[in-house]
Amino acid sequence: MKPKLVGRYIVTDPKICHGQPTFRGTRILVADVLEQVASGMAWESIVEEWRGGVSEDAIAEAVRLASETFRKHAHELAPLAEYDMTLRSTT
């Protein structure tokens, strides 16, 4: 499997971090940065924490791609939500 450019800043490469999405030219996992965003960390602070290895534009791309992916696959989560609601109503 060859490296694949997912966006301008995000790449998957089976030789880097077991093929998990990383920011181009780094070993910084996109998932780690998304967790920082989700926790409410300021984007400027994220850039500083990664010593400039991730730019605000790269963070924006990661958030946009995560949002698009969620929208594309949200219907797959609906049966899980219905199952969870069924369990809650019986307890």
State residue 1's pLDDT score: 78
Q: What is the pLDDT of residues 19-69, one digit of tens each?
A: 999 999 999 999 999 999 999 999 999 999 999 999 999 999 999 999 999
pLDDT, greater one: 17 or 1: 17
- Domains of the chain: residue spans and CATH: 4-90 (1.10.10.10)
Residue at 53: amino acid letter = G
Q: Which residues contact 17 (CB under 8 A, 6 or more apart)?
A: 27, 29
